[in-house]
């Protein structure tokens, strides 16, 4: 059974600093990995999606890396801003070879990192 862990559970940094959020998963046979952002009272917003064949993806100040063999992903946020304050979740989707039935669309989520950017 896939397990996804995120460390730390909470992080506070001053505005302007660069930061890294970590995600680890136990089953390396993944199809892809996504990073989401969750704001209070709102749904999840997908930030970056990395296919299993890719090493990283970039969008603006965000960069996500994937090391499938070691079961790790990082989300790097450059020049943090107060508006970046949110909970960040990573989620993996299993590859077809590691499941026995239709339904690989299921995402397994980590517990999240609650990020606070201090103005």
Q: Which residues bind other proteins (CB under 8 A)?
A: 4, 32, 34, 41-46, 49, 89, 91, 93, 101-103, 105-112
Beta strand pairing call for 113-118 and 10-14: parallel
Q: How many CB atoms lie within 10 A of CB 58?
A: 11
Q: Which is nearer to other proteins, 15 or 111 (CB)?
A: 111
Beta strand pairing call for 62-67 and 72-77: antiparallel
Phi and psi at residue 105, to the nearest 5°: -75, -15
CB of 94: closest distance to other proteins in angstroms?
Answer: 11
Q: Which is nearer to other proteins, 12 or 46 (CB)?
A: 46
CB of 31: closest distance to other proteins in angstroms?
Answer: 8
The helix (run of H) or strand (run of E) holding residue 59 is: strand 56-59
CB of 52: closest distance to other proteins in angstroms?
Answer: 12
Q: Which is nearer to other proteins, 85 or 88 (CB)?
A: 88
Nearest CA among 22, 10, 7 for reference residue 85: 10
CB of 99: closest distance to other proteins in angstroms?
Answer: 10
């Amino acid at each position: 059974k896939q397990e996804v862990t995120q460390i730390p559970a909470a992080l506070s940094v001053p505005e302007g600093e660069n930061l890294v959020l970590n995600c680890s998963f136990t089953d390396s046979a993944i199809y892809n990995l996504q990073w989401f952002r969750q704001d209070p009272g709102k749904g999840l917003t997908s930030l970056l999606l990395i296919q299993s064949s890719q090493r990283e993806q970039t969008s603006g100040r965000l960069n996500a890396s994937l090391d499938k063999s070691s079961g790790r992903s990082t989300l790097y946020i450059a020049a943090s801003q107060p508006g970046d304050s949110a909970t960040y979740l990573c989620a993996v989707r299993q590859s077809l070879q590691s499941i026995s039935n239709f339904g690989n669309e299921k995402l397994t989520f980590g517990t999240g990192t609650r990020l606070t950017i201090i103005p």
